[in-house]
Amino acid sequence: MESRTLDDRIVELAGKWSYMKRDHFPRWDYHELLSEAYIAAKTIGHRYEEGRAAYTTFLWSHLFCPVSRSYYKAFSVTVTRENRTGKRLYRHRWRELPEDYDHPQSIEPEQVELNLGIDHESDLLYMLGVGMNQKQIAYALGLSEGRISQRVRRVREELS
């Protein structure tokens, strides 16, 4: 008789979990969800205490939070609460670009002077990484193109 390894059990459980929870993650197909569930299971596996419950029960009840965090991060959604026990609020980290953005004369970005902290710099790097140009980034963050250009120049100087 062939014994199954722990990885085989994790893959099987992640597959069942992904199939049951697929409606909670509409932008991911089954295989993306399965991959995230497997990664989350491998990441949280060290927290399992043998005497408390079966390993499968532990994973089944603990996979949703890390997988949903990955899902929201992948689609730039921030989850907050009104207060400590209030209803969850879901919002995009930056504004969506309108369909007709290729015509810059029709849209004037807000001229807001902000001191971009570490969060905005990571947003800036992410947006550059996914191929957005400086004009699109400026609109998404609600800043002037000049301000974004300064930030990009400073990042380039730090990297060189």
Task: Mark which of 64, 92, 120 sits at the end of a domain.
Answer: 92
Spatial CB neighbours of 94, under 8 Å, sequence gap ≥ 6: 76, 123, 127, 140, 141
Residue 120 counted as domain residue: yes
Q: What's the pLDDT tens digit per position in 35-65?
A: 999 999 999 888 888 888 888 888 888 998 8
In angstroms, rounded to a whole number, what is the distance separating the alpha carbons of residues 99 and 103?
10
The closest alpha carbon to 127, from 153, 78, 93, belongs to: 93
Asked whether residue 113 is domain-assigned, the answer is yes
Supply the pLDDT for residue 114: 43
Residues 87 and 112 in one domain: no
Domain with 113 in it: 104-159
Q: With 0.75 as the threshold, say if the pTM is over it.
A: no
* Residue 99 counted as domain residue: no
pLDDT tens, 122-159?
A: 778 878 888 888 888 887 777 788 888 888 888 788 77
Lowest pLDDT segment from 58-72, 102-116, 117-131: 102-116
